[in-house]
Amino acid sequence: MSTQAHAAEHHKESFVSKYIFSHDHKMIAKQFLITGMVMATIGMAMSLLFRLQLAWPGESFSVLNFFLGDKWAPDGVLDPNMYLALGTIHGTIMVFFLLTAGLSGTFANLLIPLQIGARDMASGFMNMLSYWGFFISSVIMVISLFVESGPASAGWTVYPPLSALPQAMPGSGLGMTLWLVSMVFFIASQLIGGLNYIVTVINLRTKGMKMTRLPLTIWAILVTAILGLLSFPVLFSAALLLLFDRSFGTAFYLSDIYIAGEALTQTGGSPILYQHLFWFLGHPEVYIILLPALGLTSEVISTNARKPIFGYRAMVGSILAIGFLSFIVWGHHMFVTGMDPFIGAVFTFTTLLIAIPSAVKAFNYITTLWKGNIRFTPAMMFSIGMVSTFISGGLTGIILADSALDINLHDTYFVVAHFHIVMGLSAVLAMFAGVYHWFPKMYGRMMNMKLGYAHFWLTFISGYGVFFPMHFFGLAGVPRRYYTNSEFPMFDVFIDLNILVTVFAIIGGFAQLLFFFNFFYSMVRGPKASQNPWKSNTLEWTTPVEHIHGNWPGKLPEVHRWAYDYSKPGKEDDFVPQTVPLEEGEKDGEH
């Protein structure tokens, strides 16, 4: 059956095939988004719980007892093991479930077929599998929160031997096993999804959609998928070997350990091996999160500045350069593991190289605003905020990449500040920008703008309020993952600042209720969207507001120009959709 005929055919779809086991990329995108939102709520709530302990150490909170029960918060005081568990699961959920699957899953699925002019993904079935793999992994991760010995607690990087030995901490028992099983499903889901994204972008572009005409969102998603495909298998093997060490007495990561009054028989393994394998994924992972965020931001900024994205080719080049470099920098997470100093020097060099394409991207965003005609939609507000966090957080990366400086800042709050701003805040802000911008495409309705602005300012300000002061903790030598700083009189000066951070966290956390309300209210009651509410050039806005299977009624659109003909001289409107043929003598793209 040709795709043409497939589209024309009117399916009688049951509830199950339409909403649950759907093959339709738009529905799968929504499934990813909602699952991601549910997981994010859990991850966010956890951070609020442990922030209470950090601001008011050892004090009793009935809310802690309410959520964690008598075992983990006796008399409302958080247990140190549960503190570590909350941090671990918060990190895992935010990095993998929200910002990898939630972000890429939503926007790769929604935008790839719509922006390249395809009826659907190359394989709708694989796409469905990808979602359900993610769903199963989410369920297992949530189940792991309820096991008797507590969820995984060794930090989101789960370094062995701590994560390998149940004797080392209660969280390294069944909770850790479930964590690993969940990750196995997660990785499978990522690989299936990623493969599908790559094949679709390469093969299913509509007539005229040359690679040089691809919107930057698609470029970013494509490179992201390639990164995932090449690096996630390495995490898979790392997790598998850890599972072996835990369950079958192997010694890949274990050697010469005396614990709980007993000398273990395993010798010859190296815990550092795990770190190499983990960060071989772990560093590209940072860009798996960041690149789609940058892609979405590019699109939103250009559309709302009513101006072509500045330096399209340089932007594509930067994405490719960042993608390539991200594979040869992982060692900068391991400067103080005792690695050979020469190798440390090489990793310092390669890491600092990444700053160049990143700087180019930042400058290009700023220059896109220059002499623009900016419409400050909520999506635009979030995007400008994202440029700010990307710069603020990126700059401190230059310090941490410097091996000599990392000696003293490694694993302090400086690192927490750095990655939460550059990766966490940036990606979350971009994801919100994406949701506000493409909500009309997803649900055919508009979100409420006023609530959107309120949500933006509360999120953005409290985001900086939480993470900016952490630079100062780090520079004072406060380590991360400490249950309390009260054992160190030298950190008493930060008691007030820690409370301020927690207050901002609570404000920021509850501000998300505005978003949730806006999201679900607008889904059913929002005003009906017009076909192209943002006057955008890309193909998704040429589809009908009501979703149809196959995206376009009749023939697929033909593309005649790049995606960034905003405010082109000699045109009546300040935008020219990609489907409008070039006039005689008119040049396409960057000319």
Partner 1 sequence: MNFLIILLSVLGLIALIQLVRVFEITGKLRGNNQDDIDFQENKLRAKLWLLFGIAYFGFFIWLAWEYGDDLLPVAASEHGAVIDNVLNFNWVILIIAFVLTHVLLFYFASKYYWKPNHKADFITHSTKLELIWTTFPAIVLAVIVIYGLSAWNDITDDAPEDSINIELYSKQFAWVARYAGEDNKLGEANYNFIGGSNQLGLITPETIQERKSSLEDEVINIEANLANAPEGGAKEEELQENLDKKKRQLAKIKTYERQNEVDPFVNADDDKIVNMEFHIPVDQPVNFQFRSQDVIHSAYMPHFRAQMNCVPGAKTRFHFTPTITTEEMREKTGNDEFNYLLYCNKICGAAHYNMQMTIVVESQEDYEKWLSEQSTFTSVETAQSREEEKEVSEEEVLAEKN
- Taking the complex as a whole, how short is the minimal distance between the CB of residue 142 and partner 1, in angstroms? 23
CB 349 within 8 A of CB 381: no
Q: Which of residues 184-223 bind partner 1 (CB under 8 A)?
A: none
Q: Which of 70, 148, 487, 584 binds partner 1 (CB under 8 A)?
A: 487
Give, for 557, the enclosing helix (H) or strand (E): none
Tell which residue, 24, 29, 23, has the closest CA to residue 103. Answer: 29
| Residue closer to partner 1 (CB basis): 114 or 169 | 169
Locate tokens 């994010």: which residue?
40
Q: Which of 444, 533, 545, 547 binds partner 1 (CB under 8 A)?
A: 533
Cα torsion 240, 246, 248, 249 to 10°: value is: 120
Q: Which of residues 223-282 bind partner 1 (CB under 8 A)?
A: 254-259, 263, 265, 267-272
Residue 356 in the binding site for partner 1 (CB under 8 A): yes
Stretch binding partner 1 (CB under 8 A), from 31-39, 41-49, 96-104, 561-569: 561-569
| Residue 38 to residues 41, 109, 135, 368, 516, Cα–Cα distance (Å) | 5, 18, 11, 35, 10
- Taking the complex as a whole, how short is the minimal distance between the CB of residue 118 and partner 1, in angstroms? 27
CA dist 411 and 143 (Å) reads: 29
Residue 583 in the binding site for partner 1 (CB under 8 A): no
Locate tokens 């601001």: which residue?
55
Q: Which of 129, 444, 482, 547 binds partner 1 (CB under 8 A)?
A: 482
| Residue closer to partner 1 (CB basis): 129 or 451 | 451
- Taking the complex as a whole, how short is the minimal distance between the CB of residue 352 and partner 1, in angstroms? 5
| Residue closer to partner 1 (CB basis): 314 or 499 | 314
Residue 477 in the binding site for partner 1 (CB under 8 A): yes
| Residue 89 to residues 95, 154, 156, 158, 496, Cα–Cα distance (Å) | 10, 10, 7, 11, 27
Residue 19 in the binding site for partner 1 (CB under 8 A): no
- Show the binding pattern over residues 112-151: x = contacts partner 1 (CB under 8 A), - = does not: ----------------------------------------
Helix axes 103-116, 426-443, angle to 10 degrees: 50
| Residue closer to partner 1 (CB basis): 195 or 353 | 353
Residue 56 in the binding site for partner 1 (CB under 8 A): no
Classify 201 as helix, strand or coil: helix
Q: What number of chain residues touch partner 1 (CB under 8 A)? A: 129
Stretch binding partner 1 (CB under 8 A), from 17-25, 193-201, 228-236, 305-313: 305-313
CB 108 within 8 A of CB 175: no
Residue 76 in the binding site for partner 1 (CB under 8 A): no
Q: Which of 76, 136, 402, 499 binds partner 1 (CB under 8 A)?
A: 402
- Taking the complex as a whole, how short is the minimal distance between the CB of residue 409 and partner 1, in angstroms? 9
- Per residue in 58-71, is it b (16+ CB within 10 Å) or e — as a string? eeebeebbeebeee
Q: Which of 73, 305, 322, 458 binds partner 1 (CB under 8 A)?
A: 305
Q: Which of 126, 208, 472, 523 binds partner 1 (CB under 8 A)?
A: 472
CA dist 288 and 19 (Å) reads: 28
CA dist 300 and 306 (Å) reads: 10
Tell which residue, 409, 417, 503, has the closest CA to residue 468. Answer: 417
- Taking the complex as a whole, how short is the minimal distance between the CB of residue 128 and partner 1, in angstroms? 34
Residues facing 566 on adjacent strands: 575
Stretch binding partner 1 (CB under 8 A), from 5-13, 22-30, 419-427, 478-486: 478-486
Q: Which of 174, 229, 476, 499 binds partner 1 (CB under 8 A)?
A: 476
- Cis, peptide link before residue 170, omega less than 30° from 0: no
| Residue closer to partner 1 (CB basis): 123 or 157 | 157
CA dist 322 and 390 (Å) reads: 14
All residues at 6 or more sequence positions from 306 whose CB lies less than 8 Å from its CB, including other chains: 372, 373, 374, 375, 566, 567, 574, 575
DSSP 8-state code for residue 487: T
Residue 453 in the binding site for partner 1 (CB under 8 A): yes
- Taking the complex as a whole, how short is the minimal distance between the CB of residue 103 and partner 1, in angstroms? 23
| Residue 207 to residues 312, 384, 430, 578, Cα–Cα distance (Å) | 21, 33, 30, 11
Q: Which of 147, 355, 503, 507 binds partner 1 (CB under 8 A)?
A: 355
| Residue 340 to residues 175, 280, 401, Cα–Cα distance (Å) | 34, 17, 16
- Show the binding pattern over residues 84-103: x = contacts partner 1 (CB under 8 A), - = does not: x-------------------
Q: Which of residues 313-352 bind partner 1 (CB under 8 A)?
A: 313-314, 336-338, 341, 344-345, 348-349, 352
- Taking the complex as a whole, how short is the minimal distance between the CB of residue 464 and partner 1, in angstroms? 7
Q: Which of 8, 20, 202, 493 binds partner 1 (CB under 8 A)?
A: 493
Residue 529 in the binding site for partner 1 (CB under 8 A): yes
Amino acid at 9: E
- Taking the complex as a whole, how short is the minimal distance between the CB of residue 212 and partner 1, in angstroms? 13
DSSP strand pairing (262-263 vs 258-259):
antiparallel
Q: Which of residues 362-381 bind partner 1 (CB under 8 A)?
A: 362-367, 369-377, 381
| Residue closer to partner 1 (CB basis): 125 or 376 | 376
Cα torsion 91, 94, 99, 101 to 10°: value is: 100
CB 481 within 8 A of CB 416: no
